[in-house]
Amino acid sequence: MMNILSPSILSADFWKLGEDIKAVEGAGVPWLHVDVMDGLFVPSISYGMPVLKAVRPHTDMFLDVHLMIEKPERYVEEFAACGADLVNFHLEATEDVKGCIDKIRATGKKVGITIKPATPAEAVEPYLELVDMVLVMTVEPGFGGQKLIPECLDKVAVIRKMITDRGLATDLEVDGGINLDNVALALDAGANVIVAGSAVFKDNIAANAKAFINKLQ
């Protein structure tokens, strides 16, 4: 399974967001991670449909949209229409996980499901064959720049085994506190999609992105 870098624009400079996105794209990065926060499911508020809609016409990158919002089923169709390639929602944010998956699938987009650090790996097991990707948060969602919680990588290993045992091609993503010093730990645990924010969008963005890509090969 291919290893993929998905830089989070939450850490980009919004004064020059387009330039920052072009810097990672030019470095050969295939995915872009778009964190949407509503101030309810998580304490922070980030951005939403207008930013996604503005970005979509200017890049061919795969837009990996991570909804950290209450009752995500209310908005999945709008995010799909704005250009998401994958709509990823939190298992903890909805009372109808299967319904939310079905709603995303009906838009023709890929489906992701996410769990927070306190949620056990087993919570995703009933949905593994229904989704394209599982995201394990390795920090508490809602803020950038946090340190990775190492224990969360144990859940990555458990979920990777579930995926392998079922013969599935499900991507397994990690998000939170990932940098060049610890990304190997995430890969060794079984993750193949790596979200990095501040470790990419600082100083020389293109050089940071290329360094990550080298680590992922």
Which residues are designated catalytic?
35, 175
188's tokens = 């060794």
**Nearest-angstrom CA–CA distance, 139 and 212:** 20
**CB atoms near residue 108 (< 10 Å):** 7
| Residue spans of beta strands (DSSP E) within the chain | 4-7, 31-37, 62-68, 86-90, 110-115, 133-137, 171-175, 193-196
**Nearest-angstrom CA–CA distance, 79 and 38:** 14
Q: Residue 171: beta bridge partners?
A: 133
The answer to whether 131 touches 170, Cβ cutoff 8 Å, is: yes
Nearest residue to 135 via CA among 34, 214, 217: 34
